[in-house]
Amino acid sequence: MTPLPLGSKIGILGDGQLGRMLSQAASRLGFKVVVYGPDAESPAASVSAVSKVARYTDEAALDRFAAASDVITFEFENVPVSSLEYLVSKGAKVAPNARALGITQDRVLEKTFARSVGISTVDFYEVNTLDDLEKAIAINGVPALLKTRREGYDGKGQVWIRHADEVRAAFESLNGAKAILEAKADFLREVSVIAARGFNGEVRTYPVGENHHVKGILSTTLAPATISETLKKRAEDIARKVLEGLDYVGVLGVELFVLDGDELVLNEIAPRVHNTGHWTQDGCLCDQFEQHIRAVAGWPLGDTTARFQVEMTNLLGPDILAWETLSQEPNSRLYVYGKDDPREGRKMGHINRLKRAV
């Protein structure tokens, strides 16, 4: 693909904080951004040249969006695959592709794909009925983690089964949603790798970050993490297999569990810029947002070398109320997403604290 010229229009499906930061990166490179999402006052719409307020399935609105954009991407993994396919059928250029989105939206398809390209996952079982779940527990044993196949985030839609007598209640808590039962990963640490692939197949990988979750929500990422060369190579190899196997164009995040012996197991793939990649805004010269825009615009990919080790901390709910103190911290940078209601657990912003030069 020839690089999109300066001033071209980039369409973004999804209007949250990831769209906001993608939009800001795109405008810095001279692009105009058209944001498409359900909310007029959204974090992304408020910083973008144009915003289209519509449901993701509104074909007339999608037609106008396609006509207004030179390339279309997304920041939200629950955009319907049919909407991407519709945009493509109308002649829009869309990246990442619809197949990659479809696979990564569904935990069973995602793990099946990972195994098909030689990446380890925990043992897993497809669960549609109570009978499926009872059989899976009989094979796997407890503890095991029951998750909805689709639309889970920040630990939502997940329930641990620790005793056989909890099976029925766990199944009923899903309210009929299709599910996956996962074996418990006995991980030592959780890490992630953010990587990008261009239209020409070039791959670039950021240094691995180590992540800490509190109550199922990401709390901090420290990157580059202190890891062995073996682990680094394994993480890069996994990212490359995922990108190539999905014929992916853009940035994605791969969440990994580190087991004893530097074994890596894939947890999930996010087909978009990722919360554990926010550290790159201050750790690298080309952050994950600019990188994604470069990739989908057919520009050369940017430098992924870390200049600083950074600790990124999410500001959840009322944490953001401390903005005045946070904004005075030396060697740190505050990011605010422009959301009104700081309700418990909601991602309101983050702070990147520089630890040391790398």
Ligand X SMILES: Nc1ncnc2c1ncn2[C@@H]1O[C@H](COP(=O)(O)OP(=O)(O)O)[C@@H](O)[C@H]1O
- For tokens 């953010």, the residue is 194
Torsion angle in degrees (nearest 10) through CA of 196, 198, 200, 204: -30
Q: How far is it, in rounded angstroms, from Cα 321 to Cα 101?
A: 35
Interaction residues for Mg ion, span 37-56 (CB under 5 A): none
Asked whether position 190 contacts ligand X by CB under 6 A, the answer is: yes
The DSSP call for residue 35 is E
Site string for ligand X, 38-77 (x = CB under 6 A): ----------------------------------------
C-beta closer to ligand X: residue 23 or 220: 220
Considering only residues 267, 288, 314, 352, which one is a binding residue for ligand X as defined by CB under 6 A? Answer: 267
Q: How far is it, in rounded angstroms, from Cα 358 to Cα 353?
A: 14
- Cβ 55 vs Cβ 26: under 8 Å: no
Asked whether position 213 contacts ligand X by CB under 6 A, the answer is: yes
In this structure, the strands spanning 179-183 and 50-53 are: unpaired
The nearest distance, CB 182 to Mg ion, in angstroms, is 12
Reply yes or no: is the peptide bond before residue 224 cis, omega within 30 of 0.
yes
Interaction residues for Mg ion, span 241-260 (CB under 5 A): 255
C-beta closer to ligand X: residue 269 or 286: 269
* Backbone φ and ψ of 69, nearest 5°: -125, 140
Asked whether position 152 contacts ligand X by CB under 6 A, the answer is: yes
Give which of ligand X, Mg ion, none residue 143 binds (C-beta under 5 to 8 Å, depending on kind).
none
Site string for Mg ion, 113-152 (x = CB under 5 A): ----------------------------------------
Asked whether position 268 contacts ligand X by CB under 6 A, the answer is: yes
Asked whether position 153 contacts ligand X by CB under 6 A, the answer is: yes
Which amino acid makes up residue 300? Answer: P
Give which of Mg ion, ligand X, none residue 213 binds (C-beta under 5 to 8 Å, depending on kind).
ligand X
Q: How far is it, in rounded angstroms, from Cα 211 to Cα 276?
A: 7
Number of residues that bind ligand X (CB under 6 A): 15
Binding segment toward ligand X, per CB under 6 A, in 68-76, 184-192, 288-296, 299-307: 184-192
Binding segment toward ligand X, per CB under 6 A, in 85-93, 182-190, 223-231, 291-299: 182-190
How far is the CA of 236 from the CAs of 87, 202, 206, 307, in angstroms?
Answer: 32, 13, 9, 19
Binding segment toward ligand X, per CB under 6 A, in 145-153, 162-170, 234-242, 280-288: 145-153
Long-range interactions of 202-207: CB distance < 8 A, separation 24+ = 202/301, 203/239, 203/240, 203/243, 203/244, 204/291, 204/301, 204/302, 204/304, 205/235, 205/236, 205/239, 205/240, 205/304, 206/277, 206/280, 206/284, 206/288, 206/304, 206/306, 207/232, 207/283, 207/304, 207/306
Number of residues that bind Mg ion (CB under 5 A): 1
Give which of ligand X, Mg ion, none residue 152 binds (C-beta under 5 to 8 Å, depending on kind).
ligand X
Structure tokens belonging to residue 343: 């309700």
Asked whether position 109 contacts ligand X by CB under 6 A, the answer is: no
The nearest distance, CB 147 to ligand X, in angstroms, is 6
Asked whether position 122 contacts ligand X by CB under 6 A, the answer is: yes
How far is the CA of 205 from the CAs of 73, 113, 182, 208, 251, in angstroms?
Answer: 20, 20, 28, 9, 9
- In 3D space, the residue among 68, 47, 96, 114 whose CA is nearest the CA of residue 255 turns out to be 114
Asked whether position 189 contacts ligand X by CB under 6 A, the answer is: no
Binding residues for Mg ion, rule: CB under 5 A, are: 255
Binding residues for ligand X, rule: CB under 6 A, are: 122, 145, 152-155, 182, 184-185, 190, 213, 216, 255, 267-268
